[in-house]
Structure 1
Amino acid sequence: MLDYETEAAHYDETRGGVPRAGAAAAAVLRLVPPGARTLLDLACGTGLVTERIARPGLRVFGADAAHAMLRAAAPRLPGRAVRADARRLPFPDASLDAVCAVWLLHLVPFTGEIVAEAARVLRPGGVLAVTVDKDAAHDVGSDIDALLRPHRAPAAAHDRAARVDALAAAHGLAPAGATSFTGHGQGATPGSTARRLRAGHYASWFRGDPATTETLAAALAALPDRDRPRPDPEYRLVSYAKPGIS
């Protein structure tokens, strides 16, 4: 996994910036009940998405485990950014109306613990909204995808939709809705994908020895228009509700 203490300094400009953040925030709001008064954004990072999850009457908090990310988030979330592990949140039982996790579950093997903790802090009627199948959204149908797909190991994805559905059910959360949004500025180029592959950025889903990695990186670099971005990915966001009336 990336070192998010060092990533914080250039995270926003390398991840699609405000357009991508705005699309993600709008998607979260589509799945949060109109009467929700409190929301916690897990792994909020620099707070670029979190500050855009905004509407009248909704108080939004951000939590992240990386000091550098929280330093960047603090001006965007004055008094509402907390350092916390998503598995051990500093909130009482049944104290929040909504929890969201955008681009988190694919990074960690302890998805179940995160879902369990979210279920704990949600009030009856509260909603958990999470992105699923993130890695599978990239480069679908492109020449990059055609080259890499045979070497992917989708069953290992921690945010696989079917897996998250089962975990949510195990913790008493029922499917409540789904939406999608565009990852603006995230359309990869063959050249950038080759560099990321060599740097190990796809370790969460790529299977292959160093020789195979180098062979694929070279094949990516040889594709036509190696510096032309392919279409932006479409991310999927799903929600689960805690039974009861808040």
Structure 2
Amino acid sequence: MLDYGKEAEAYDATRGGEARAGAAADAALGLVPADASRLLDVACGTGIVTRRLAADRPGLQVTGCDLTAGMARMAAARLPGAILLADSRRLPFSDGTFDAVTSIWLLHLLEDPAEVRAVVAECARVLRPGGVYVTTVDKAAAHDVGSDIDSVMAPRPRRPARDACATVAAHAAEHGLLPAGRASFVGLGQGRSPRRTIADLRRGWFTVLPPGDPRTETYADRLATLPDQDRPRPDPRFTLRCFRRPEAG
């Protein structure tokens, strides 16, 4: 896994910046009830989406939390007084604190399936009756856009998707959450070019192909033969799922 403390400073610029953040926030808020008053953004990273959630829904009190100190510092600069350093597997909030909880681009990062279950359980625990949990699912699949890059990379080894939609839905159901909608948004500015994909390979972004592995260089060599090395291919399209805690009684 990447060192997100070291990634913090360059994180936004390499992942679509404000355009992607705005698209993510807009799609997430479309699944949050209009009368929600308190929202928790779990694993908020640099706070670029968290700030948009707050700005785009006046009157919504938004809190963010992240496990990585470097990320949390950047988020705190964007939303002073609203960011906590916290582990999403053990949230420091009482049961039923929030009307909505979001986790954008979190579950796919977790190595152990038990950690995914723990995060979903915590997000469910801090929801009040009638509250909603909104999360991205199937993140890796979003980048398969049918391009020539995808054709080259198709045979690569992959780890099981920790954020598979069916898996997340099953965990949500275990903790009393019911399906309540879905949405999608475009990862603006994240379309991959061959040259950028080669750089990502060598940085370890493809988690089962570590830097220096001979297989990594084999894929890099194949990508280097593609035309238009600096032309981005289509942007990914990310999926959000929403789950609701039923009203008491």
- TM bucket by the smaller chain? over 0.9
Equivalent of 1:88 in 87, 90, 95: 90
- Secondary structure at 1:75 match in 2: helix
- Secondary structure at 2:192 match in 1: coil
Aligned residues: 243
Q: In the alignment, which residue of structure 2 is the partner of 1:46?
A: 46
Tell me, which stretches of 5 or more residues in structure 2 are unaligned?
none
Q: In the alignment, which residue of structure 2 is the partner of 1:32?
A: 32
C-alpha deviation, 1:212, in angstroms:
2.4
C-alpha deviation, 1:56, in angstroms:
2.5
1:192-230: CA deviations, max 9, x gaps?
1112112221116x69x9332221111011111111111
C-alpha deviation, 1:165, in angstroms:
1.0
TM-score where L is the length of structure 1: 0.94
Counterparts of 2:183 and 2:72, CA distance in 1 = 28
C-alpha deviation, 1:66, in angstroms:
0.9
C-alpha deviation, 1:245, in angstroms:
5.3
Counterparts of 1:214 and 1:60, CA distance in 2 = 44
- Secondary structure at 2:81 match in 1: coil
Tell me, which stretches of 5 or more residues in structure 1 are unaligned?
none
Q: In the alignment, which residue of structure 1 is the partner of 2:177?
A: 173
Counterparts of 1:227 and 1:50, CA distance in 2 = 31
**Does the 8 Å contact 2:145/2:235 carry over to 1?**
no
C-alpha deviation, 1:14, in angstroms:
1.2
Is 1:17 matched up with 2:17? yes
* Aligned-pair Cα RMSD in Å: 1.7
What is the letter of the counterpart of residue 44 of structure 1? C
Counterparts of 2:10 and 2:215, CA distance in 1 = 30
1:59-97: CA deviations, max 9, x gaps?
000000111111111121111100000011111001110
**Does the 8 Å contact 2:88/2:119 carry over to 1?**
yes
Equivalent of 2:153 in 139, 148, 153: 148
C-alpha deviation, 1:152, in angstroms:
4.4
C-alpha deviation, 1:157, in angstroms:
1.0
TM-score where L is the length of structure 2: 0.93
Equivalent of 2:143 in 138, 142, 146: 138
* Matched-pair identity in %: 56
- Secondary structure at 2:119 match in 1: helix
1:37-75: CA deviations, max 9, x gaps?
000001111111101013132100000011111111112
Counterparts of 1:41 and 1:4, CA distance in 2 = 17
